[in-house]
């Protein structure tokens, strides 16, 4: 993309309404614009990041054997009356009535709708196990929408639902979700720690929340510092292997890590004092096993092996896709702006032309631009005639992990400058080598 043709409305001023760094940088980098309280337009740069996060979630869910679909945002109130949640859900549910006076709602989540789909189409245990998911906008009329996309009213969420014949199979689905979530967050450059949590209105006993440690997080968390040494990494996993998935769950949940809702001071104090940590965290996902709660209420049964009807065991599993855009910035930024992890960056690298209009500089930039695109990469080429200082400030703000700077002085010696946004180091090297380095960095990632 050429910057001169792009829509990147960067702000110089710090917007007064933004209280935390991710909100400030998302506004300043022209990623989002508030439409009304807790509701945002995703401008081109923000939209690219949202899509990259979504893509990682899709890939990892499908790798785990979960099947994508799409359910609507507007739902009929009738299904929620059946489950009993129409009255229970409270004021966070946006209730609407259509022209015929029928009660509708903007879905805050989808347990009822998916259970209805399931009971309409699945009747035999032979069709199990089954896990369906979608990524769709949700609406919760939060009393205090704040922090930009982190606590919106309209937000983008991946929610998945497993249907299993037995509790044991449903717990395996739970474990599969845990593993696929660990992989997803790591690909986004994040460490998200699974913590014992409270199930709230969804119901059920088994639930973990995934938290990214950050001072601005809304949750208070308590954990054993050893847990931060755990990485899933690029180890192989067979999602059909119950024992393997169970071992990952045990590895990642055996050390103390809880949110304030389930925190137990006595158990916490058994950890050696030097390892006890209390901090704040951002919830970026949650997994639940809730047994037969919805299948009992809504009559979702299958014919079991002995011919008798059995209610299915279910769980639901959510990832805050739009919240993640903010959470990643909270975890990765400096005083000059965002620092995107390579896995989610909106453009793979920036090209800064220090002397737009100079024939040699223009030609060198065009050649770099074309070569990177030929490799399947997306560069953002600043071909404008703004001053160098302004160009660098914008590139630093929008946070592309790599920048190639091209100027007449370097070109005389046959070199361009390659700069890492994270480390800040610059290195002079011939353009072909700069391209090779960037290709290597992203080639390695896509081979994961």
Residue 92: both structure tokens together: 């966070």
CA 327 to chain centre: 8
User: Would you say the C-alpha torsion 392, 396, 400, 404 has a positive or negative sign?
Assistant: positive
Q: Count CB atoms within 10 A of the CB of residue 344.
A: 23
Task: Give the binding range for ligand ATP (CB under 6 A) out of 49-57, 277-285, 356-364, 389-397.
Answer: 277-285
- For residue 151, the partner it binds in ligand ATP, Mg ion, none, with Cβ less than 5 to 8 A by kind, is ligand ATP
Query: 3-class DSSP state for residue 385?
Result: coil
Q: Where are the beta strands (DSSP E) in 77-233?
A: 94-97, 103-106, 130-139, 154-164, 193-196, 206-213, 219-224
Alpha-carbon span 23 to 7, nearest angstrom: 19
Q: How far is the CB of 106 from ligand ATP (least distance, A)?
A: 13
Q: How far is the CB of 171 from ligand ATP (least distance, A)?
A: 19
Alpha-carbon span 178 to 194, nearest angstrom: 8
Of the residues 111, 283, 383, 396, which one makes contact with ligand ATP according to CB under 6 A: 283
Q: How far is the CB of 202 from Mg ion (least distance, A)?
A: 8
The footprint of ligand ATP on residues 96-115 (CB under 6 A) is: 109
Alpha-carbon span 270 to 393, nearest angstrom: 49
Q: Decide whether 109 or 184 has the Cβ nearer to ligand ATP.
A: 109
DSSP state of 200: G
Which strand (E) or helix (H) includes residue 103? strand 103-106
Q: Does 285 bind ligand ATP (CB under 6 A)?
A: yes
Q: How far is the CB of 140 from ligand ATP (least distance, A)?
A: 5
Residues in the chain: 448
Q: What is the dihedral of CA 440, 442, 446, 448, to 10 degrees?
A: 70
Alpha-carbon span 404 to 412, nearest angstrom: 16
Task: Give the binding range for ligand ATP (CB under 6 A) out of 120-128, 165-173, 282-290, 363-371.
Answer: 282-290
Q: Decide whether 286 or 332 has the Cβ nearer to Mg ion.
A: 286
Q: Does 343 bind ligand ATP (CB under 6 A)?
A: no
Residue 374: both structure tokens together: 């030929």
Q: How far is the CB of 283 from ligand ATP (least distance, A)?
A: 4
Q: Count CB atoms within 10 A of the CB of residue 55.
A: 14
- For residue 110, the partner it binds in Mg ion, ligand ATP, none, with Cβ less than 5 to 8 A by kind, is none
User: Would you say the C-alpha torsion 435, 439, 442, 444 has a positive or negative sign?
Assistant: negative
- For residue 333, the partner it binds in Mg ion, ligand ATP, none, with Cβ less than 5 to 8 A by kind, is none
Nearest-5° Cα angle at 36, 32 to 40: 25
Strands 349-353 and 402-406, bridge-based pairing: parallel
Interface with Mg ion (CB under 5 A), residue total 1
Q: Does 284 bind ligand ATP (CB under 6 A)?
A: yes
Interface with ligand ATP (CB under 6 A), residue total 15
**Beta pairing partners, 420:** 402
Fill in the per-residue mask, 120 to 159: x = in contact with ligand ATP (CB under 6 A), - = not in contact: --------------------x-x--------xx--x-x--
Q: How far is the CB of 356 from Mg ion (least distance, A)?
A: 48
Fill in the per-residue mask, 279 to 318: x = in contact with Mg ion (CB under 5 A), - = not in contact: -------x--------------------------------
Q: How far is the CB of 23 from ligand ATP (least distance, A)?
A: 12
Q: Decide whether 50 or 368 has the Cβ nearer to ligand ATP.
A: 50
Strands 276-291 and 219-224, bridge-based pairing: antiparallel
Q: Which of 173, 195, 194 is nearest to 182 (CA)?
A: 194
The footprint of Mg ion on residues 153-192 (CB under 5 A) is: none
Of the residues 208, 293, 323, 421, which one makes contact with ligand ATP according to CB under 6 A: 323
CA 298 to chain centre: 31
Q: How far is the CB of 110 from ligand ATP (least distance, A)?
A: 11
Of the residues 61, 110, 286, 301, which one makes contact with ligand ATP according to CB under 6 A: 286
Strands 130-139 and 193-196, bridge-based pairing: unpaired
Fill in the per-residue mask, 303 to 322: x = in contact with ligand ATP (CB under 6 A), - = not in contact: ---------------x-x-x
Q: How far is the CB of 96 from ligand ATP (least distance, A)?
A: 19
Residue with tokens 């506004």: 27
Residue 325: both structure tokens together: 């855009």
Q: Which residue is nearest to ligand ATP (CB)?
A: 320
Q: How far is the CB of 320 from ligand ATP (least distance, A)?
A: 2
Q: Exposure of 234 by Cβ count < 10 A (0-12 exposed, 13-18 middle, 19+ buried)? A: exposed
Q: Which residues of the shown chain bind ligand ATP in the complex (CB under 6 A)?
A: 109, 140, 142, 151-152, 155, 157, 283-286, 318, 320, 322-323
Q: Which residues of the shown chain bind Mg ion in the complex (CB under 5 A)?
A: 286
């Amino acid at each position: 993309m050429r910057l001169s043709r792009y829509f990147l409305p960067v702000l110089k001023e710090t917007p007064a309404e933004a209280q935390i760094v991710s909100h400030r940088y998302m506004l300043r980098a022209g990623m989002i614009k508030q439409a009304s309280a807790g509701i945002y337009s995703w401008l081109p740069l923000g939209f690219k990041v949202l899509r990259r996060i979504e893509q990682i979630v899709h890939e990892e869910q499908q790798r785990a054997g979960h099947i994508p679909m799409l359910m609507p945002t507007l739902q009929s109130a009738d299904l929620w009356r059946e489950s009993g949640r129409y009255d229970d859900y409270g004021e966070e549910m946006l209730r609407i009535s259509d022209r015929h006076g029928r009660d509708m709602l903007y879905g805050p989540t989808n347990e009822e709708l998916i259970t209805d789909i399931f009971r309409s189409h699945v009747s035999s245990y032979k069709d199990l196990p089954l896990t369906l998911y979608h990524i769709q906008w949700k609406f919760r009329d939060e009393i205090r929408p704040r922090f930009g996309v982190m606590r919106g009213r309209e937000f983008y969420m991946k929610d998945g639902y497993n249907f299993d014949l037995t509790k044991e199979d449903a717990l395996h689905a739970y474990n599969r979700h845990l593993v696929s979530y660990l992989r997803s967050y790591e690909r986004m450059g994040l460490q998200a720690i699974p913590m014992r949590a409270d199930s709230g209105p969804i119901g059920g006993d088994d639930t973990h929340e995934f938290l990214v440690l950050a001072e601005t997080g809304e949750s208070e968390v308590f954990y054993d510092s050893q847990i931060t040494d755990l990485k899933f990494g690029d180890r192989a996993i067979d999602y059909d292997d119950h024992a393997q998935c169970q071992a990952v769950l045990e590895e990642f949940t055996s050390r103390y890590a809880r949110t304030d809702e389930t925190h137990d001071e006595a158990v916490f104090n058994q950890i050696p004092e030097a390892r006890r940590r209390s901090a704040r965290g951002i919830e970026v996902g949650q997994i639940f096993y809730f047994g037969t709660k919805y299948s009992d209420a809504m009559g979702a049964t299958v014919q079991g092996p002995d011919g008798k009807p059995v209610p299915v065991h279910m769980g639901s599993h959510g990832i805050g896709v739009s919240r993640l855009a903010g959470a990643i910035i909270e975890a990765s930024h400096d005083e000059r702006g965002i620092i995107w992890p390579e896995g989610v960056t909106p453009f793979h690298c920036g090209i800064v032309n220090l002397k737009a209009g100079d024939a040699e500089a223009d030609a060198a930039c065009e050649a770099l631009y074309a070569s990177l695109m030929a490799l399947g990469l997306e560069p953002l080429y600043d071909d404008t005639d703004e001053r160098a200082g302004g160009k660098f400030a914008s590139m630093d703000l929008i946070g592309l992990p790599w920048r190639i700077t091209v100027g007449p002085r370097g070109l005389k010696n046959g070199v361009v400058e390659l700069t890492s946004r994270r480390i800040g180091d610059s290195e002079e090297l011939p353009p072909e080598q700069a391209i090779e380095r960037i290709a290597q960095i992203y080639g390695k990632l896509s081979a994961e």
